[in-house]
Amino acid sequence: MSEQRPDIATPKRTQEIVRRHGITMKKSLGQNFLIDRNVLAKIVGAAELDANRGALEIGPGIGALTEQLARAAGKVMAIEIDQRLLPVLAETLADYGNVKVVHGDVLKLPLRELMEKELSGCEEVSVVANLPYYVTTPIIMKLLEEKLPLANIVVMIQKEVAERMAAAPGSKDYGSLSVAVQYYCVPELVTIVPHTVFIPQPQVDSAVIRLALRAQPPVEVEDEKFFFEVVQAAFAQRRKTLGNNMLARFFGKEGRDEMNRLLEELAIDPGRRGETLSIAEFAKLANALYLRQKG
C-alpha cells in the first residue's frame, strides 16, 4: 500500500500546492483555504458521517476538506466553480476513489439529479462545506427551498451570518433569515473560528453551524410562499412596528381599522416589532392574511 500523503490542510502543503500550480486565490470567488486540521475535524465530526453516508461539498478549493470527507463518508460529490482548480483536485484527491468532482456553479446546477447520480446508494446525505462567503445565503436557501433529501448541513460561514441563522425571537440578530432557516432546520452553532486559520485570511471571523433538517416544519402554513412574504414584510423596515409594516404591504392607508381587528383576533399587538414574533406567531398571522386575501 502506498504511504498516505500528508494532509493538505497545513500551511506548508497548501502553499506548496498553490505555488506549484501557479494558483492565485480569487477574492471574487471567496477563496480562503483552510489550513487547520483541528477545525476540519470539528466540521467533519459535526456532520456525523459514516460509510453509509454521502457528503456533498460545495467549493472544494484544493481539497483540504474533501480529503477528510473522503476518509469519513461512503461517497463524496464536490462542486467547484473555478476551472483552474480541477487539475489541482485531480492530483490532491488521486488516492480517493470515492470522490467525484463536478465543475459548475452550485446555484445553477440541478442538485437533486446530481445527488441521485453521484451519491446513489448512500442512506443519507450531508452537505459539508467551507462556503464562499459572498454567496452563503443564496446557497443555503437553494438547498432548503429545493427540499433536497439531506440529513444535515454543516458549513463554515461568516460568524455574523451564523448568529443570524441561529438567533431567537427578541434578539437583535433575529430576522427573516432566522425564520427561513428555522422553518426548515434546527440550527446549532458548533464553534467560532478565528480568521487566522485560512490562507489568505478573510477580514472577518467565521463560525461552523450545523443545521439539522426537520422532518416536518414546526408550524402549519396555508401557503409557504405567502408565509415567507409576510415574514419579509414584517422585517421590511426594522424600526417600524409590525402594524405599520403590515399596513404598508397588505392593507394600504385606509385599512388600519381592519388590520387592528385582525391582529387583535390573533392576540398580536400591532405595536410590537417583527423581531419579537415567534415562528408560530408568524404562521398564525400569515394564515389569517392568506385566508383574508383569498376572500
Site string (214-253) toward ligand SAM, x via CB under 6 A: ----------------------------------------
Identify the residue among 39, 55, 81, 166 touching ligand SAM (CB under 6 A): 81
| Minimum CB–partner distance for residue 8 and ligand SAM (Å) | 8
- Any contact of residue 64 with ligand SAM (CB under 6 A)? yes
Phi, psi dihedrals of residue 217, rounded to the nearest 5°: -60, 155
The residue within the footprint of ligand SAM, chosen from 39, 70, 80, 207 (CB under 6 A), is 80
**Apex CA 140: angle with CA 138 and CA 143, to 5°?**
105
> Residue 141 has which C-alpha cell?
436557501
Q: Is 25 in the site for ligand SAM (CB under 6 A)?
A: no
Among positions 192-211, residues that touch ligand SAM (CB under 6 A) are none
Smaller CB separation from ligand SAM, 67 or 275 = 67
Of 28-36, 91-99, 111-119, 187-195, which segment contacts ligand SAM by CB under 6 A?
28-36
Is 29 or 236 the residue whose CB approaches ligand SAM more closely?
29
Provide DSSP, 77-119.
EEEE--GGGHHHHHHHTTT-TTEEEEES-TTTS-HHHHHHHHT
For 14, how many CA atoms within 13 A lie in the half-sphere containing its CB?
21
Which residue, chain included where needed, has cell 480568521? 195
Place of cell 414546526: 218
Provide the 8-state DSSP code for 22: T
CB of 144 to ligand SAM, least distance (A): 16
Q: Does residue number 59 form part of the binding site for ligand SAM (CB under 6 A)?
A: yes
Per CB under 6 A, 286 contacts ligand SAM: no
- Report if residue 265 touches ligand SAM, rule: CB under 6 A: no
Give burial (CB, 10 Å; 0-12/13-18/19+) of 44. buried
- Residue 88 contacts ligand SAM per CB under 6 A: no
Nearest Cα residue to 283 out of 233, 219, 215, 240: 219
Residues 123-142 touching ligand SAM, rule: CB under 6 A, are 130, 132, 135
Determine which residue in the list 21, 29, 124, 258 makes contact with ligand SAM, applying CB under 6 A: 29
Q: How many other C-beta atoms lie within 10 A of the C-beta of residue 245?
A: 22
For ligand SAM, the closer of residues 33 and 251 by Cβ is: 33
Among 16, 50, 91, 105, the residue binding ligand SAM under the rule CB under 6 A is: 105
CB-based burial label for 204 (10 Å; 0-12, 13-18, 19+): exposed
Distance between CA atoms of 159 and 134, rounded to whole angstroms? 13
**Contact positions vs ligand SAM (CB under 6 A):** 29-34, 58-61, 64-65, 79-82, 105-107, 130, 132, 135
